[in-house]
Amino acid sequence: MFDFSFKKNVFVGVDIGTAAIKVVELTVVEGKPILSNYAWMSLDGNNIGKGDENVEYFQVILPQCLKRIIKKAKFSGRDAYVSLPAFGGLITLIDFPEMADNDMEQAIKFEAHKYIPTSLDEVVISWEIVERENRSASLIKEIPVSGNSGDAKETDSGVRVKVLLVAASRKKVLKYENLVKLSGLDLKSIDIETFSVVRSLVGNDMGSFVIVDIGARVCNIILVEKGVIRINRNIDAGGAEMTKTIAKAMGIDTERAEALKVSGKNFFETESAISFFTLELITGEVERMIRAYCKDGERDKIEEIILSGGTSRLTGIEDYFSNKLKIKTTVGNPFARISYDSRLKSTIADIQNNLNIAVGLALKGVDEYLKDNLNKK
């Protein structure tokens, strides 16, 4: 959401996760995105979650890792689209009466204080009107930007807009900007990873979905309706905790447990069932989110739950979610809208769960490139 500029037709999505750096390169050929390169590098598990506090890790180790990936995998693109962690930003929908852009800017800044606990000088804010609705015969109370409710007046315009407000720490944005610069890439955009996940797994589909993106440390839960993020929540529950659960239950080390987690073994079967408290937390949060958003009798408007992240490779996890929540559950495919060499089919099937954010970032460059070219015609 925080743009810098772009050109050319090759776009590199860089996902700097807590457990690994993942990079995807897409090239636009005849108006379509083609997978031209991809790579990833596991990070030292001892550094998971320490990136912001450890200056050397963020300013030396991570740039060196990214530079090594780009060189070793021979990426040709230099236009980089990078993500901020979902828990490092704010995404919320705010309802406003329709007004002039200048007035909207001021109204949003005033309203943002309710959602942002720090000074607005410490954050970067982006906003976009995502929906307009006519509510004829309704009176709207207008409160001026000054916040003096005594000066409020009523109008019968009846036009309401939903504004998607996005905010991120200015300090964190500058850190990522510097990281990319040190790696030798040209930063074109910094995006909160939530948008990248939606872009790669939902695209332009107009249904209602809940995306459950289970990372190593944090689970990002996103309710999307008609292409708009309606609710976004993050909870401290991820794949690393599930690996520890397997290790403890089976009396093995975490390295062996991690290998078993993606080996095809079904830990939900009766004879080998393991109780995953992490998944109970996640399904419980999804259930609360759906209840809060859907009115009575409208639960079935959620068409699908889409799982993503490395943990979505766990055999039986789709059935676990669908049985718990009584909603169709699938594992998302970020490459569904991308062409690639058919010889990579089995390889892509094995790794696609880990690349949804990187793919979504590269797709942002693709979308902007195609839109720009269309406007020039």
Taking only the tens place, the pLDDT of each residue in 4-24 is 444 479 999 999 988 889 999
- Backbone dihedral region for residue 251 (phi beyond 0: left; psi -120 to 50: alpha; all else: beta): left
For 93-105, write each residue's pLDDT tens digit.
899 898 888 888 8
**Higher pLDDT residue, 305 or 57?**
305
Residue 239, judged by CB atoms within 10 A of its CB (0-12, 13-18, 19+), counts as: buried
SS3 153: strand
The neighbouring-strand residues paired with 211 are 222, 306
Residue (of 210, 86, 217, 97) closest to 162 by Cα position: 97
- Backbone dihedral region for residue 20 (phi beyond 0: left; psi -120 to 50: alpha; all else: beta): beta
What single string gives the DSSP state of each residue in 217-277?
A: S-EEEEEEETTEEEEEEEES--HHHHHHHHHHHHT--HHHHHHHHTTT--TTSGGG----H
pLDDT, position 303: 92
Residue 173 in contact with residue 2, Cβ under 8 Å? yes
pLDDT, position 1: 53
User: Residue 185 pLDDT more than 80?
Assistant: yes
CB atoms within 10 A of CB 140: 16
Question: Which of 74-78, 135-139, 326-330 bottoms out in mean pLDDT, i.e. has the lowest?
Answer: 135-139
Question: Which of 37-51, 122-136, 167-181, 234-248 bottoms out in mean pLDDT, i.e. has the lowest?
Answer: 37-51
Residue (of 250, 254, 253) closest to 240 by Cα position: 254
Over the chain, what is the mean pLDDT?
85
pLDDT, position 157: 55
Residue 366 in contact with residue 196, Cβ under 8 Å? no
Confidence band for 141, pLDDT divided at 50, 70 and 90: very low
pLDDT, position 296: 64
Residue 264, judged by CB atoms within 10 A of its CB (0-12, 13-18, 19+), counts as: exposed
- Range 320-331 burial, b when 16+ CB lie within 10 A, else e: bbeebbebebeb
* C-alpha atoms less than 13 angstroms from C-alpha of 290 in its C-beta half-sphere: 23
Question: Which of 45-59, 114-128, 274-288 bottoms out in mean pLDDT, i.e. has the lowest?
Answer: 45-59
User: Residue 49 pLDDT more than 80?
Assistant: no
Distances (CA, A) of 134 to 99, 226, 228, 294, 344: 13, 18, 18, 21, 49
Residue 104, judged by CB atoms within 10 A of its CB (0-12, 13-18, 19+), counts as: middle
**Higher pLDDT residue, 300 or 152?**
300
Confidence band for 53, pLDDT divided at 50, 70 and 90: low
User: Two tokens at 340?
Assistant: 């690639």
Residue 59 in contact with residue 182, Cβ under 8 Å? yes
Residue 216, judged by CB atoms within 10 A of its CB (0-12, 13-18, 19+), counts as: buried
User: Residue 66 pLDDT more than 80?
Assistant: yes
Sign of the alpha-carbon dihedral angle for 39, 42, 48, 52:
negative
User: Two tokens at 377?
Assistant: 């015609």
Across the range 175-186, mean pLDDT stands at 92
For 310-356, write each residue's pLDDT tens digit.
899 899 999 999 999 999 999 999 999 999 999 999 999 888 988 99
pLDDT, position 54: 67
Residues of the chain with pLDDT > 90, as a percent, come to 50
User: Residue 299 pLDDT more than 80?
Assistant: no
- Whose tokens are 């390295």? That residue is 255
**Higher pLDDT residue, 358 or 111?**
358
Distance, CA of 184 to CA of 315 (rounded, Å): 39
Across the range 43-62, mean pLDDT stands at 68
Residue (of 288, 271, 71) closest to 185 by Cα position: 71
User: Two tokens at 363?
Assistant: 């797709």
Confidence band for 136, pLDDT divided at 50, 70 and 90: low
**β 153-155/140-142 pair status:** antiparallel
**Higher pLDDT residue, 262 or 178?**
178
Distances (CA, A) of 111 to 2, 114, 337: 20, 6, 37
User: Two tokens at 206?
Assistant: 């107009």
Mind listing the domains of the chain with CATH numbers? 2-87+170-203+336-376 (3.30.420.40), 90-168 (3.30.1490.300), 208-331 (3.30.420.40)
